[in-house]
Amino acid sequence: MPSSAGRKGTSLSASRTIARVSLLACVGLSCCGTPGRAPVSSGDPNDPEPSFTDEERAALGELSADPLPAAPTDMSNRVADDPNAASFGRVLFFDAGFSGKLLDGDNDGSKNAVGLKGETGKVACASCHVPETGFSDSRSIRQQISLGAGWGRRRAPALLDVSQSKLLMWDGRRDALYNQIFGVIESPVEMNSSRLFAAQQVFVRHRGEYEAIFGEMPPLDDTTRFPALDATQTGCQALDRYNACPEPMRGAPGDGGDFDGMSAADQDEVTRVVVNAGKAIGAYERLLTCGTTRFDQWLRGDATALSKSEQRGAALFVGRAKCSSCHSGPYLSDEKFHNVGMKAALVATTFLNANDRGAAEGLPLMQQDPLNVAGRFSDGNDLRIPLSAGGTELEGSFRTPRLRCVSQRPSFMHTAQMMTLEKVVEFFDKGGDVGGFPGTKEIVPLGLSARERTDLVAFLVALNGPGPAAELLRPP
Ligand code: HEC
Ligand code: HEC
C-alpha cells in the first residue's frame, strides 16, 4: 500500500489559519512580509508552524493554476477532442480481443495473472493500467513490473494527466498516444499480437463504431489481400530465455510472411486502421485526470485544506529539497529526462534491465519511428520531436513523472523497486545511489531530518485528487 502518512490534521488552531490566510494572499506574487511566520507559537516543537520565503511562495504558485490547464491541443490527432472518438477509445481500452497467446508460465489463472498460459484474448490496456489505481498496475504479482503475455521490464506508469506529456514512456520512445499502442500490440510480453490481427479484430468487432468516426474500413475480410490470422497465430509462439521472441512477430512488419507479403498500399491500410484505433484511445486517455487536489484548494484560499506537516512539506518541495527543479509546473513534471542515479534492484522477477540507458536509447528510437508525429500517419506536426539525437547527458535518464495522484501508485520509479513514498523521499534525501547505474546522476544529498522527510511524504499524499468521472473507469 502507498503511504497514508501525513493525512490532514484534525484540529486547526487559530494561529495556523491566520498564517495560511496571509500566505495565500501572497502566493504567486512577489509581495513581502512574513506571512508564513506564525503570529503565535503553536507550542508544539514536534509540529512547528510552517514558514515560507518569498521565493518559496512564488514557486508554490507555479505548481497549481485555477483552473488547472486542460489537455493541450494535439495536432497529431484530428479526433483528439471528439467525444465519439473518446467513447470508442474507451471501448477499445477495456477490450482484450486484440491479444494473442499468453506465453509465460506465471500466467497461472490466479488473480495476479490475466489468464492461463496458452489462452488468447486476455490482455487489455486496462489489465496493466488499472483504473482504480490511477491507471497504474496494481494487478500483476507484487505490483511492480507487469505480467502481460510475459514479464515486462519497467513499471506501467499511471495514465492520469498523460495528455500533458508529449514525449511518452519512461524513456521518450513514443511521441504520441496514437502510436504508443503499437508497442503494446506488437510486444511479445504485452498483448503478443500484431497490427494485422488487431486491424482484423477492429473490422470484425467494432466496424460500425470505427466507420462512424473514420469512414469506410478497408475490406479486411478479403483474404486474398489481407491474410487471415487467428488469435493463436498472431505474434509470438514462445519466448526465449531472455524473455524476447526468437522469431519475427507474425502479422507485424518484418514477419517475412503475412504482413510483409501484402502490397505496400495494403500494409498502409492495415497500419492506418490501428493508428485510428490509437487516435480513439488517445481521445479517451485525454479525459483521464487526477483533478483538483487539497494542495490546489489551499492555494486557492482554503486555509484548512492542508495540515501543518503538509505545508512544511510544500515549502521543502520548492525550497531546500529542490524537488521542483524537475517536478515543476501544475502537473509537477518538467517533461524532461533526468538521471537520478538509481541502481536497479531486484523486483518481482529477475527480468529487470539493470543497465537501462533510458532516454539515450528511447529518444533516437522515437526520432526514427515511421509512425511518429512527423510521419504520414500523423494529422499534424507540432515539432514536439527534439532535433538533436541526444548526447551522453541522456545516458540513464528517464522522464520526470507527473506527481498528481502519486500516492495511488502501488510502487515507484521506472523499476518499481520502491514500494512506498517514504522510500522515494529517503532515496532523494541520500542523493541517490553510489554507482551501479548508467550515466551521471544529477542529484546531491539533502540532509533532511526525519520530520522533514515525513513532511515531504505528507505533501506528496496531499496531491491526491478525485480522479476522472466514475464512468470513465469502466467500459461504456
Ligand atoms: C502488459 C502491461 C501493459 C499493457 C497491457 C499496456 N500497458 Fe501501457 N504501459 C505499460 C508499461 C510497462 C509502460 C512503460 C514502458 C516503458 O516506458 O518502457 C506503459 C506505458 C504506457 C503509456 C505511456 C505513459 C506515459 O506517461 O508516458 C501509455 C500512454 C500507455 N502505456 C497506454 C496503454 C494503452 C493505450 C494500452 C492498450 C493498448 C496499454 N498501455 C497496455 C504496461 C502495459
Ligand atoms: C533531477 C531531477 C529530479 C529531482 C531534483 C527530483 N526528482 Fe523526483 N523523479 C525524477 C525522475 C527522473 C524520476 C523517475 C526516475 C526513475 O524512475 O528512474 C523521479 C521519480 C520520483 C517519484 C516516483 C514517481 C513514480 O511514479 O514512480 C517521486 C514520488 C518523486 N520523484 C518525488 C520527488 C521528490 C519528493 C523530490 C525532492 C526531494 C524529487 N522527486 C526530486 C526527477 C527528479
SS3 at position 180: helix
Distances (CA, A) of 292 to 8, 26, 407: 16, 20, 15
- Mean pLDDT check: name the lowest of 3-12, 102-111, 192-201: 3-12
The domains of the chain, with CATH numbers, are: 83-285 (1.10.760.10)
- Selection from 298, 308, 271 nearest residue 455 by Cα: 308
End-to-end CA distance of the chain: 29
β-bridge mates for residue 338, sequence order: 398
CB distance 164 to ligand 1 below 6 Å: no
CB distance 405 to 460 below 8 Å: no
CB distance 165 to ligand 1 below 6 Å: yes
* 474/65 Cα distance (integer angstroms): 29
Q: State phi, psi for 263 to the nearest 5 degrees.
A: -65, 155
For residue 205, count CB atoms less than 10 angstroms from its CB and return exposed for 0-12, middle for 13-18, buried for 19 or more.
middle
- Selection from 437, 410, 415, 441 nearest residue 428 by Cα: 441
Residue 345's pLDDT is what?
87
Provide mean pLDDT across the span 180-190. 98
Residue 349's pLDDT is what?
57
Residue 3's pLDDT is what?
37
* 199/204 Cα distance (integer angstroms): 9
Provide mean pLDDT across the span 369-386. 96
For residue 147, count CB atoms less than 10 angstroms from its CB and return exposed for 0-12, middle for 13-18, buried for 19 or more.
buried
β-bridge mates for residue 136, sequence order: 130
Residue 50's pLDDT is what?
96
- Going by pLDDT thresholds of 50, 70 and 90, the confidence category of residue 142 is confident
Please tell me which residue, 436 or 277, carries the higher pLDDT value: 277
CB distance 149 to 191 below 8 Å: yes
Provide mean pLDDT across the span 189-207. 98
Give the model confidence (pLDDT) of 435-461 as tens digits: 989 999 999 999 999 999 999 999 999
Please tell me which residue, 30 or 310, carries the higher pLDDT value: 310
CB distance 460 to ligand 2 below 6 Å: yes
Mutate to test the pocket of ligand 1, among 91, 122, 159 (most ligand atoms within 8 A of CB): 159
Mutate to test the pocket of ligand 1, among 90, 93, 129, 333 (most ligand atoms within 8 A of CB): 129
Q: State phi, psi for 450 to the nearest 5 degrees.
A: -60, -40
Residue 43's pLDDT is what?
66
Identity at 299, one-letter amino acid code: L
* 53/315 Cα distance (integer angstroms): 8
Q: 45: how many CB neighbours lie within 10 A of its CB?
A: 7
Q: In the 8-state DSSP scheme, what is residue 397?
A: B
Identity at 244, one-letter amino acid code: A
Q: Which three cell numbers stand for residue 247?
A: 522469431
Tracing cell 506571512 back to the chain, one arrives at: 35
Cβ-proximal residues to 185 (8 Å cutoff; 6+ apart), any chain: 98, 191, 193, 194, 195, 198, 274
Q: What spacing in Å lies between the alpha carbon of 401 and ligand 2's midpoint? A: 7
CB distance 90 to ligand 1 below 6 Å: no
Could you identify the atom of ligand 2 that is nearest to the CA of residue 421?
A: 29
Residue 354's pLDDT is what?
77
Which of the ligands is closest to the CA of residue 162? Answer: 1
Give the model confidence (pLDDT) of 38-91 as tens digits: 444 556 888 999 999 999 999 999 999 999 999 999 999 999 999 999 999 999
Provide mean pLDDT across the span 227-253. 96
